[in-house]
Amino acid sequence: MTTILIALIAVLCVAVVALAAVLLHYNVHRTAQRDVTRARRILFPFVANALSSRALDAALRLAHAENATLVPIFLARVPLHLPLDAPLPRQSGIALPLQEAIEHRAIEFEVPVDARIERGRTYRHALRRTIAHERFDRIVIAAASQGSHGFDAETVAWLLNQAPGEIVVLRPNKQETLTPPGRSRHQRRRVPALAAR
C-alpha cells in the first residue's frame, strides 16, 4: 500500500512540475507577443523647409537598429482666422511630396513609416498636440544651426522640458534638405521660409 501511495505522490509531483512548465512557457510566449505588438515608434517632426536629409538619415538608422517605425510628422500652421480643421491645400501640397520622399528613403533602410500631418496655431502648438496624442518611444528633431534649417533653440528647449521619453536633438553641420521624388535639386520649388516657433 505504501508503495502505491509513494508512486501516486511521485506521479502527482511530475504532473505539477509539467503544469508549471507549461504555464511558464505560456506566460513567456504571451509577454513576447505583447512586446512584438507594441512596436517601438520614433517621432520625427519637421516643417516645410526644415527637412534635413542628415537628420532624417540619422533617425532612419536609429529606427532600423531598434526595429522601430518612423513616424514623420509634418507640422502645419493654421492661421488664427481659420478654424483649426480648415483645409490647407498649399501646405498639403508641400507635405505630401516630402512624406513621399521620406518613405522612399525609408525603403533603403528597411524601416516602416507611419506619416502624419499635425495642425496647430504655431509649430510649438502642433508639437504639443502631437506629444499629447501620439504613442512614441523617442523623438528625433533637427535643430537649426548656421546655414541649416531646423527648429530654433527655444523650441528645442521647450520640447526638452515638455515632452516625455527620450529626445535626440541633431544639429546638421551643413544645409542638406531632402528633395521630393521626381524633382532634381535644381527643379525644386522654392518654399517660403517658415519660422519654427
- The confidence score (pLDDT) of residue 96 equals 92
CB-based contacts of 56: which residues, under 8 Å, 6+ apart?
A: 44, 72, 102, 105, 178
Question: Which has more confidence, 108 or 196?
Answer: 108
CA angle 33, 69, 35 (to 5 degrees): 15
Give SS3 for 91.
helix
- The confidence score (pLDDT) of residue 149 equals 66
Does the structure show a pLDDT above 90 at 70?
yes
Alpha-carbon gap, residue 33 to 31, rounded angstroms = 5
Which H or E run contains 184? none
Alpha-carbon gap, residue 67 to 4, rounded angstroms = 56
- The confidence score (pLDDT) of residue 20 equals 72
Question: Residue 71's pLDDT band (boundaries 50, 70, 90)?
Answer: very high
Q: How many residues does this entry show for the chain?
A: 197
Alpha-carbon gap, residue 132 to 139, rounded angstroms = 13
Question: Residue 180's pLDDT band (boundaries 50, 70, 90)?
Answer: low
Question: Residue 159's pLDDT band (boundaries 50, 70, 90)?
Answer: very high
- The confidence score (pLDDT) of residue 175 equals 60
Burial 46-72 (b: 16+ CB within 10 A, else e): bbbbbbbbbbbbbbbebbeeeebbbbb
Q: Which three cell numbers stand for residue 178?
A: 531632402
Contact 134, 70 (CB under 8 A): no
| 93-102, 138-147, 175-184, range with greatest mean pLDDT | 93-102
What average pLDDT does the segment 72-89 reach?
93
pLDDT in tens, 3-31: 877 877 877 777 777 777 777 777 766 65
